[in-house]
Amino acid sequence: MKIFLRTIFTFLLIISALICFAYFFWYRPKFKATVSSHKNTIKKESKEFIRLEERSVSLKQFAITHKYNSSIAFLIDMSLASGKNRFFVYDMDKDSLLLQGLVAHGSCDNGFQVDPTFSNTINSGCSALGKYKIGNSYKGSFGLAYKLYGLDSSNSHAFQRNIVLHSYDCVPEQETNPVPICNSRGCPMVSIGFLNQLRPIINRSEKPILLWIFE
């Protein structure tokens, strides 16, 4: 009888753990985003900010030379864990952060990937490093999305691979670190609330905005 009760108890514990896991990854992310959840919280003296500042210097010159938006840029630091904010809206004129949010990396069609692997190969399902031009918006299978054009040899197949900026409800609105977030199939995939905050920035820009994925 004791063995039977222990078995039942263990079974109930496993079921409870599965319910908690499902709640965290599928129900919790669907809460509506608040503006405060994506405000900048990184200090200027931090290593994360210094990395962004260094990238912005060369990106601003690239933007001026090629007639892109030289004031605002989107920077994705893939050296950070996926459960931490690593998608940054950077003001290159004021050297300051405007917004930050979570962003998924590609699974490389190889199950769940905690850490990103990069590839420019068509149908690889991986994220690709490099600079992208953000193109026109459209309504796709995930709703609002923005076409991306790879500007470097490391991401030159982005358009053919259908790599786009889009949202999906498996991406939470707030940091989950040390718990990783879901994977994409190579797209920089963000939360619904965060894309809603990126949308007016993209749409109001007179020149295309650059997005840079680096590590």
Q: The domain spanning residue 55 has which CATH number?
A: 2.40.440.10
Half-sphere exposure of residue 153: CA atoms within 13 angstroms, side-chain side: 0
- Residue 5: inside a domain, yes or no? no
Q: Is 103 within a domain?
A: yes
156-172 pLDDT, tens digit per residue, is 999 999 999 999 999 99
- pLDDT tens digit sequence for 63-122: 999 999 999 999 999 999 999 999 999 999 999 999 999 999 999 999 999 999 999 999
pLDDT of residue 182: 98
Which pLDDT score, from 0 to 100, does residue 179 have?
98
Q: What are phi and psi of 61, to 5 degrees?
A: -65, -40
**Terminal CA-to-CA distance of the chain, rounded, Å?**
57
Q: Which of 116, 148, 132 lies closest to 73 in space, CA to CA? A: 132
Q: Is 14 exposed, middle or buried (0-12, 13-18, 19+ CB in 10 A)?
A: exposed
Is residue 66 in some structural domain?
A: yes
Higher pLDDT, 15 or 119: 119
Residue 31 burial (CB count, 10 A): 14
Range of the domain at 131: 31-214
Q: Is residue 8 part of a domain?
A: no
Does residue 37 sit within a domain? Answer: yes
Across 180-200, average pLDDT: 98
- With cut-offs at 50, 70 and 90, classify the pLDDT of residue 17: very low
Q: Is residue 23 part of a domain?
A: no
* Residue 120: C-alpha distances to residues 16, 61, 123 (Å): 41, 25, 9
Is residue 13 in a domain?
Answer: no
Per-residue pLDDT of 103-119, as tens digits, reads: 999 999 999 999 999 99
Predicted structure pTM score: 0.83
Q: Does 2 reside within a domain?
A: no
Per the structure, the count of domains in the chain is 1
